[in-house]
Structure 1
Amino acid sequence: MLLTGLALGIALGFTMQRGRFCVTGAFRDLWITGNTRWLTAFLIVVAVQSVGVFAMDAAGMITLAPRDFAWLATIIGAFVFGFAIVLAGGCATGTYYRAGEGLVGSWFALIFYALFAAMSKTGVFAPAVDGLRAVTVHASTIHGLLGLSPWILVAVLVTGVGLLARHHLARRPALPVAALPARKSGLAHLLFEKRWGAFSTALVIAVLAILAWPLSWATGRESGLGITGPSSALVNYLVGGDPQLIDWGVYLVVGILTGSFIAATGSGEFRVRLPDAVTTVRSIGGGALMGVGASLAGGCTIGNAMVDTATFGLQGWVSLVFMIIGTGAATRLFVTGPAKATAASLTPVRAGR
């Protein structure tokens, strides 16, 4: 059954690479252009998954158990994580699939992300992380806090996301993009050459996210998609060699890397690309901060912002908000701020009248 994690991971990595599903870009677009298209795609995953998760819970296939909300660690960790993904050039899954494309900068980010996640969960930083996560309130979900049926929130979420998607789909289509003649046909063309849309990619990812719940539970891992914990476990396995650390989640992250490599190779997009010195330093620093931030927050953009939000967990929605804020702070510092300063310095000074 563990191999189902590998299979689902391959499908997820393949889909994210071909669809260019970048959560970092979705958050960053809000601050640079105000565009919500990719954020809407991300929320489609959350909304569709939410329907599937609560249906499975109602059917007894899984059991959603409450847990206390580690509010302080979640806020700090989510902000740090959101800040870090701009430095690293991608979130946890984005780093995995870009590493599969041959981006050496993402290799550095991925290595240090997994290493610092392990250090934060079971290593030298664990006491500090555990101490912050011990600061909790006795609440776990939005519907539990409000005393509502979760299906009311599901209906609100699906309706809101549906209206957002309709808004984007109703806008005037962009000018056609020039493309080379197709070299493949049939399924090969669809999988490796045809441009994947943001919303269609989101629907595929949503289906995979739903499937992750029963497949993971069947192996004793009572959770859905998750990246940080498995990445930490993989590092600990490589260091200590304990085979009990290899669970469904570890197979999942290995599968994401494998699926991305298959997609990039099949589409001709795989190429080993070396970063410059500045990008290398930022990738390493961003990866390290991602590992610490995700451990503090209890999850990354997948485990928290995509999965826990689908169950209306307080940790998930608070994480999503502070990840976006953290991304905005880093964008202002490293993207829009320096760009404006550079543009201003290049503007010719006009002589006075």
Structure 2
Amino acid sequence: MMNTELVLWVSLAIGLLFGISGQLSGFCFYRGLTERWSGRSGYKLQGFALALAVALAGTQLAAGYGLISLDKALYLNPTFSWLLVPLGGVLFGAGMTLANGCGARALVLLGQGNLRSFVVLLCLGITAYITLTGLLAPLRISVAQATSVTLPAVTLSEGPIRSIVIALIVAALIAFALRRRQDGQRLNDLLAGALIGLLIVAGWLTTGWLGDDPFEPLPVSSLSFVAPIGESIQYAMISTGMSPRFTILIVVGVVVGSLLSALLRRRWKLEGFESPRHILRSMAGGALMGVGGVLALGCTIGQGLSGLSTLSATSLLAVLGIIVGARLTWTRPTA
């Protein structure tokens, strides 16, 4: 029991730090992409690259030293749908564009008073569970079974070659992250990226090491923000029939951390919609992210950081789909 309680407290702390960091820095993969596509200055994408470098290095070190076992991680399942994973990524990317940010960013914005994000999160969480276990689940399962493939067992075994490959990937990400561009909050974005990368590692350690209890085993996972948002909504409605868990405490922590940071910085402000069209756009964005995130098995944090930190080929496919979906939907702002 004590171990379970400790896991929950650590999960809350991870969420709090993520929320504070996100509120201070505006950490967001989508914002990084749009900075690049529009030619604006900024280091959001480089901050994300540094987060991935830290997450990859830390996760692989933890696994290499036997602190965690990634064998049962969702992202390393060799069987996946060749159709639904990239399609889900495209849908998520399109929804991310319509909602002007991913689920993690919406949680941070909600903490600082953005009511548009509340609508996005409701639509995201509800449609995620409709797709995962609700009305759309039978169709999803049928299509997944019909389009499933199993990757050949081509993996980098433990040893010098694997270490060199990981080191080269991490070095390339760091080189990109540290490359100077135009003016922007370089240090702020890079520090936030490094911290969030460490939080990904902390997530793996929390579930795979601290929560490694033979009597009450936890799924080995790290941060993700699609199904967990749906779980949190469900818990808010039927908490007497559910137990708090790692994913729910992460979501709660992000909102509370962002709220505390916004209040201390006097940045908390209620914000609403500009028009009915804006409401529909946010609802559509949340719904597409909910459906797409379930099909793609994760989001920009779940697949983009947690998944890629395991060197999962499925995660890479999902992230490429997210980028494609965002690019197809994004339009250059008019002057």
Q: TM-score scaled to structure 1, two decimals? A: 0.82
Which deviates the most, 307-316 or 294-303? Answer: 307-316
The answer as to whether partners of 1:129 and 1:295 remain within 8 angstroms in 2 is: no
Deviation at 1:102, TM superposition (A): 0.7
C-alpha root-mean-square deviation of aligned residues, in Å? 2.5
CA gap 1:48/1:282 in 2 versus in 1, 3 angstroms: same
Q: Does 1:154 align with 2:153?
A: no
CA gap 1:125/1:103 in 2 versus in 1, 3 angstroms: same
The answer as to whether partners of 1:118 and 1:236 remain within 8 angstroms in 2 is: no
Deviation at 1:198, TM superposition (A): 0.9
> Residue type of the partner of 1:119?
I
Aligned to 2:319: 320
Deviation at 1:116, TM superposition (A): 0.8
Q: Does 1:215 align with 2:206?
A: yes
The answer as to whether partners of 1:104 and 1:274 remain within 8 angstroms in 2 is: yes
Q: Does 1:61 align with 2:67?
A: yes
> Residue type of the partner of 1:55?
L
- Identity fraction in percent: 25
CA gap 1:144/1:133 in 2 versus in 1, 3 angstroms: farther
CA gap 1:227/1:149 in 2 versus in 1, 3 angstroms: farther
Deviation at 1:27, TM superposition (A): 2.0
The answer as to whether partners of 2:104 and 2:301 remain within 8 angstroms in 1 is: yes
> Residue type of the partner of 1:223?
S
Give 3-state SS (helix, strand or coil) of 1:250's partner: helix
Aligned to 2:107: 96
Which deviates the most, 277-286 or 257-266? Answer: 277-286
* CA distances 1:142-166 after superposition (whole Å, capped 9, x unpaired): 8459x99542331121121122133
> Residue type of the partner of 2:198?
V
Which deviates the most, 129-138 or 317-326? Answer: 129-138
Aligned to 1:189: none
The answer as to whether partners of 1:301 and 1:320 remain within 8 angstroms in 2 is: yes
Aligned to 2:264: 266
Aligned to 2:248: 250
Give 3-state SS (helix, strand or coil) of 2:56's partner: helix
Q: Does 1:16 align with 2:22?
A: yes
Which deviates the most, 251-260 or 133-142? Answer: 133-142
The answer as to whether partners of 1:118 and 1:235 remain within 8 angstroms in 2 is: no
Aligned to 1:197: 188
Map 1:1-353 → 2, pairs under 5 A: 1=6, 2-33=8-39, 37-65=43-71, 66-67=76-77, 68-134=79-145, 135-139=147-151, 143=155, 149-168=161-180, 171=181, 197-217=188-208, 218-219=210-211, 220-241=218-239, 243-244=241-242, 246-277=244-275, 278-332=277-331, 335-336=332-333, 339=334
* CA distances 1:245-283 after superposition (whole Å, capped 9, x unpaired): 531111101110110111111111110011112222111
Deviation at 1:130, TM superposition (A): 2.3
CA gap 1:166/1:140 in 2 versus in 1, 3 angstroms: farther
Give the number of equivalent residue pairs: 314
Q: Which has the larger radius of gyration?
A: 1
Deviation at 1:243, TM superposition (A): 4.1
Q: Unaligned regions of 5+ residues in structure 2, if any? A: 1-5, 212-217
> Residue type of the partner of 1:305?
G
CA gap 1:113/1:55 in 2 versus in 1, 3 angstroms: same
The answer as to whether partners of 2:115 and 2:271 remain within 8 angstroms in 1 is: yes
Q: TM-score scaled to structure 2, two decimals? A: 0.86
Aligned to 2:3: none
CA gap 1:167/1:284 in 2 versus in 1, 3 angstroms: same
Deviation at 1:203, TM superposition (A): 0.8
CA gap 1:163/1:61 in 2 versus in 1, 3 angstroms: same
The answer as to whether partners of 1:101 and 1:269 remain within 8 angstroms in 2 is: yes
Alpha-carbon distance in 1 for matches of 2:175, 2:187:
21
CA gap 1:36/1:316 in 2 versus in 1, 3 angstroms: farther
Alpha-carbon distance in 2 for matches of 1:33, 1:291:
29
CA gap 1:284/1:49 in 2 versus in 1, 3 angstroms: same
Deviation at 1:216, TM superposition (A): 2.3
The answer as to whether partners of 1:141 and 1:314 remain within 8 angstroms in 2 is: no
> Residue type of the partner of 1:159?
A
* CA distances 1:204-239 after superposition (whole Å, capped 9, x unpaired): 111111111111233313111122121122233344
The answer as to whether partners of 2:124 and 2:288 remain within 8 angstroms in 1 is: yes
* CA distances 1:107-131 after superposition (whole Å, capped 9, x unpaired): 1101111111111111111112223
Alpha-carbon distance in 1 for matches of 2:42, 2:328:
18
CA gap 1:94/1:329 in 2 versus in 1, 3 angstroms: same
